[in-house]
Structure 1
Amino acid sequence: MTADDESDRRAERVDGGSGDSVTRAAGEVQAVYDRIADHFAKTREYAWPEVEAFVDDEVDRRGLDRALDIGCGNARHAELLAEQGAAVVGVDVSRELLGAAQKRRQERGFAADFVHGDAAGLPFAANSFSQVVYVATLHHLRPAATRQRSLAAVGRVLEPGGRALVSAWSTAHDRFDRDSAFETEIEWTLPGGETVDRYYYIYDPDTFRDTLAAVPEIDCLSMRVSSGNCYAVVAPADDTESSTADSD
């Protein structure tokens, strides 16, 4: 087996699915997070260290300008971006989580706009953003073609020289005893004991890397595993500042 054959084996098999099935899957994500939004938002107070590190790197590299937070949830990362001087837009498929984001904005006094939208069909023009934070969302999308379309949209909305931080849950997490990528549902338990199933595509690091490489609209500049998640910094394809992906 050649190296290219091995890469093809690891990369996600792309089944576009019918339009109805894709729409239904997006609706399921919205329904789940609308149901758990209030409790979920209360458990998501602080920005992740990996996002803080990305923002610090971007401040040092070129400064923040127009930033997009995909799957913004309760706006914990939108707040971080705004505090560092970015003009921030947060997008989320859950209207209830957007309500939590607006409440946080009002209480904390930071500036950000919030938009209802799907990560696979970002409602923004090309070259709209200098920075994109896309964490803890990609793994909820299905099928594989939807995940790839979402990554392509990241490349489309990034301006030349822009950067995005992309993350997804990984088999490297302590809670999983698997070496290869797989699909699963994980329960969210609400106060009172009600459980709500959430869909996940759990990437192994090689599949994550190869999935990024299969999207022509982006170039992966670096990839690493941290806190059980895969993280990658990506740039628009053919960006003059791009380089071959390295693993930290």
Structure 2
Amino acid sequence: MAPKAVAEVVVDLDPEAYETQNVHAIYDKIASHFSSTRYKPWPIVTKFLSELPDGWIGLDSGTGNGKYLPLDRQGKIWMIGLDRSINLLKNAQQAGGKAREVILGNALHHCWRGHAFDYAISIATIHHLANPQRRMLAVQCLLRAVSPKHGRILIYVWAIEQDELSKRIIPQGECKEVGSGKDVIVPWVLSKETSPQGTNSPEGEEKQVYGRYYHMFAKGELGRLVTEAATGLNLIIGAADGQVPSSEGVEIVQDSWERSNYYVELRRWSIP
């Protein structure tokens, strides 16, 4: 399949309204087709989940069709899926052929008591938020969701730097600000066999194309976002070693690029 060109855009509406129109409404329309193409877990996410201690309870913020929910190591860990799309959650409810715990909600809202989880993942979600403040708030929600003593977090976002296997062509040219990434609309071509209502499209009918909003992250941008989010919560950035008593912080364990994505792995800590 030839790579699809994406169009650079300016978010000129209220960001929440813009996301409703260009993210949430689109995913509800393409949910069935989208889910049929999203079934293979990414290796680094699989590795992260495989290394968690038995008995840990986690959050998949932006679970989509729930493809990571079955990676519970036969019940040795447990995960709740959160998503804004009701139609994607209908798939997530039975991810892996088993009943799953899922919640309809927003990644920017606190749907549970603070620090209720041992770990959290946010895979290809934060890049759908339409301004830096909302992206920072999403990271803060993750930091608040996990244990301050041992919580672990993995975040993935799309990168401007796409590899040779990418299905996307990113607009060339300088970013508005150094290291600020690009706001783009990425086309989704709906399978001609499936309409938004799940019925067959008439033979010969032109395929429907839906545009989804993404913020494509620049090199270093995700790490800076995490630092700003943690600083806003009065958390120390860095390892726990050598820190003073009565302090809390977050260590950036990994900050890297993999297959057209940037990702960070975080570890919360606190010293009595």
Q: TM-score range by the shorter chain?
A: 0.7 to 0.9
- Is 1:232 equivalent to 2:221 in the alignment? no
- Post-superposition offset of 1:82: 5.7
Rg comparison, structure with higher value: 2
Distance change (3 Å), C-alpha of 1:84 and 1:54: farther
Return the letter of the residue paired with 1:38: S
- Is 1:168 equivalent to 2:161 in the alignment? no
| TM-score using structure 1 length | 0.80
Distance change (3 Å), C-alpha of 1:178 and 1:207: farther
Displacement over 6 Å in runs of 4+: none
Unaligned runs of 5+ in 2: 1-10, 164-168, 193-206, 234-249
Partner of 2:123: 135
Preserved contact between residue 67 and residue 81 of structure 1 (Cα < 8 Å): no
Distance change (3 Å), C-alpha of 1:204 and 1:97: same
2:228 to 214, 219, 226: 214
Moved more, 72-81 or 22-31: 22-31
Partner of 2:244: none
Partner of 1:245: none
1:43 to 24, 37, 40: 37
Output the CA distance in 2 between the equivalents of 1:205 and 1:154: 22
Partner of 1:152: 140
Moved more, 182-191 or 62-71: 62-71
Q: What do the CA deviations read for 1:162-215 (whole angstroms, capped 9, x no partner)? A: 101001001221343567511111000001210110111111121121111111
Report matched runs for 1:2-151 at 5 Å.
21-28=14-21, 29-58=23-52, 62-81=53-72, 83=74, 85-104=76-95, 108-109=97-98, 111-151=99-139
- Post-superposition offset of 1:27: 2.0
SS state at 2:115 partner: coil
Output the CA distance in 1 between the equivalents of 2:117 and 2:78: 9
Q: What percentage of residue pairs aligned between the two structures are identical?
A: 23
Unaligned runs of 5+ in 1: 1-16, 241-248
Preserved contact between residue 94 and residue 100 of structure 2 (Cα < 8 Å): no
| TM-score using structure 2 length | 0.73
Return the letter of the residue paired with 1:145: Q
Q: What do the CA deviations read for 1:98-155 (whole angstroms, capped 9, x no partner)? A: 01112335xx12x531000111114121111111111111100111111100100000
- When the two chains are superposed, the root-mean-square deviation of aligned CA atoms in Å is 2.2
Distance change (3 Å), C-alpha of 1:64 and 1:138: farther
Partner of 1:197: 211
Output the CA distance in 2 between the equivalents of 1:24 and 1:37: 20
